[in-house]
Homo-oligomer: A and B are copies of this chain.
Amino acid sequence: MSDATDLFFDAFANKNRFRILVELMNKEQCVGELQKSLNIEQTHLSHDLRCLLNCKFINVRKEGRKRIYSINKETKELVDEVTKHVKRYETYLNKCGILKEEDGRI
């Protein structure tokens, strides 16, 4: 696996960062708005946004003292794919023994 794949997962596959991406699916938002809708602490949010921005999963533009973040087109498609997959496998995921201390051996 390439080094880039590692970095991709570091950025994308994180509960909070993914929530940010989903939240940006509908409309672009500034940090304050994201803070409210996601209920993530401000500095934490900024760290995550910086990460997503560095990897170009999202874009930013200034407007007064606000910074408006938007998701980019390709990332959007990927988020859709993942969402679709999760829906399809929801049942299995929810009874996954590893994470839920259950036991479903073969």
Q: How many residues of A contact B (CB 8 A)?
A: 48
* Chain A positions 11 through 36: 1 when the CB is less than 8 Å from some CB of chain B, otherwise 0: 11111001100100000000000000
The answer to the question of A81 belonging to the interface, with a C-beta cut-off of 8 Å to chain B, is yes
| A15 partner residues in chain B, CB cutoff 8 A | 1, 5-6, 9
- Minimal beta-carbon separation of A95 from chain B (angstroms): 8
**Main SS class of interface, A:** helix
Q: State the number of copies, please.
A: 2
Minimum Cβ distance to chain B for residue A79 (Å): 10
Inter-chain pairs besides A1-B18, A51-B98, A78-B81, 12 sampled, C-beta below 8 Å: A1-B22, A5-B83, A6-B15, A7-B93, A7-B96, A9-B18, A13-B13, A54-B95, A54-B96, A55-B92, A56-B92, A77-B81
Question: How far in angstroms is the closest Cβ of chain B from A23?
Answer: 9
For A106, give the chain B residue with the smallest CB separation: B60
A54 touches B104 (CB 8 A): yes
Judged by a CB distance under 8 angstroms, whether A41 is at the interface is no
CB-CB under 8 A from A11, the residues of chain B are 93, 96, 98
